[in-house]
Amino acid sequence: MNDVLLRVERLTAGYGEAPVLQDIDIEVRRGELVALVGSNGAGKTSLLRCLSRLMPVQGRIVFDGVDVTEASADAVYRAGLVQLPEGRQLFDRMSVEDNLLMGANNRSDKAGIRTDLERVYALFPRMAERRRQIAGSMSGGEQQMCAMGRALMARPKLLLVDEMSLGLAPVVVEQLMDILLQVRADGVTVLLVEQDIHLALEHADRGYVVENGRIVLADAADRLLGNPEVQRAYLGI
Ligand SMILES: Nc1ncnc2c1ncn2[C@@H]1O[C@H](COP(=O)(O)OP(=O)(O)OP(=O)(O)O)[C@@H](O)[C@H]1O
Ligand SMILES: [Mg+2]
């Protein structure tokens, strides 16, 4: 089996005339946790949206051995490329369980869905306790757990995580990070976008730094953490 799960080549994309992403080359191997870091407006969310096929692109995206550059959002989702969106985007008025089940609405294997639901509840006991609660009435951390659970219900091969820690207390972020590491240990590859650059690089295998829509650095995560340029620009050291 090819050990490259995602390959992006010369990707250029934008919302109007001027591109917000230019000539992006990235690669994610099976089992890796790769961090994508950069300041506000650098283009991180846009890149994830390109991968999820929510934006037209130039260049090439190959996922799990298949060229998906022209594929639909639905098709890549079914293929196992699943985004955990910035801001969670839950259905506020629906119950936790109904939100979780939305993640599996591309599947028809009822028994498998049941099993996966129980696995999500085992991973997030708090979600099991709150399965009948309205999602919008939970805390931010609980909503993030619900959003992660929903993404897992799609049986992702690659999970794109956008700003998981945003607005959450450090102790909650730590819990979420532990769960993400567990998910990764269970075989899910992760591409992690984070404002908290230290958090991301601390847990990642490799990282890419995006500035103004371009990849300016690519290296092992520990080397990026020790890189004086990165320290100065992003870590306040
Ligand atoms: N829907 C949109 N329409 C037009 N321009 C957009 C849109 N979304 C983002 N942009 C622009 O694209 C650029 C990249 O934005 P993007 O949201 O991808 O950055 P980001 O790295 O995720 O930033 P943040 O850290 O704030 O989440 C910015 O200049 C932004 O203003
Ligand atoms: Mg963003």
Distance 99 CA to ligand 1 centre (A): 27
Write out pLDDT tens, residues 206-228: 999 999 999 999 999 999 999 99
pLDDT at 43: 97
Contact 50, 21 (CB under 8 A): yes
Return the bridge partners of 14, or none. 19
Atom 1 of ligand 1: nearest residue by CA position: 15
Q: Report which secondary-structure segment, H or E, holds 217.
A: strand 214-220
pLDDT at 85: 86
> If you search the block for the tokens 């099993």, which residue do you land on?
115
Q: What is the number of the ligand closest to the CA of 234?
A: 1
Q: What is the number of the ligand closest to the CA of 50?
A: 1
Report the candidate in 92, 99, 26, 34 with the shortest Cα–Cα distance to residue 57. Answer: 26
Average pLDDT over residues 49-70: 97
pLDDT at 30: 98
Write out pLDDT tens, residues 43-56: 999 999 999 999 99
Local confidence band at 16 (pLDDT 50, 70, 90 cut-offs): confident
pLDDT at 221: 98
Distance 213 CA to ligand 2 centre (A): 12
Distance 118 CA to ligand 2 centre (A): 31
Number of Cβ atoms within 10 Å of the Cβ of 102: 15
Write out pLDDT tens, residues 160-211: 999 999 999 999 999 999 999 999 999 999 999 998 999 999 999 999 999 9
Burial 13-37 (b: 16+ CB within 10 A, else e): bbeeeebbbbebebbbebebbbbbb
Q: Angle 213-222-226 (CA atoms, 0-180°, nearest 5)? A: 80
Write out pLDDT tens, residues 71-116: 999 999 999 999 998 888 999 999 999 999 999 988 889 999 999 9
Hey, which of 11, 20, 54 would you mutate to test ligand 1's pocket, going by the most ligand atoms within 8 Å of its Cβ? Answer: 20
pLDDT at 1: 61
CATH superfamily of domain region 4-235:
P-loop containing nucleotide triphosphate hydrolases (3.40.50.300)
- The residues, ordered by sequence, that sit 6+ positions from 237 with a Cβ below 8 Å of its Cβ are 231
Write out pLDDT tens, residues 116-148: 999 999 999 999 999 999 999 999 999 999 999
**Ligand 1 site: residues with CB under 6 angstroms?**
15, 20, 38, 40-46, 195
Q: Which atom of ligand 1 lies nearest, measured to the CA of 48? A: 18
Q: What is the number of the ligand closest to the CA of 46?
A: 1
pLDDT at 32: 97
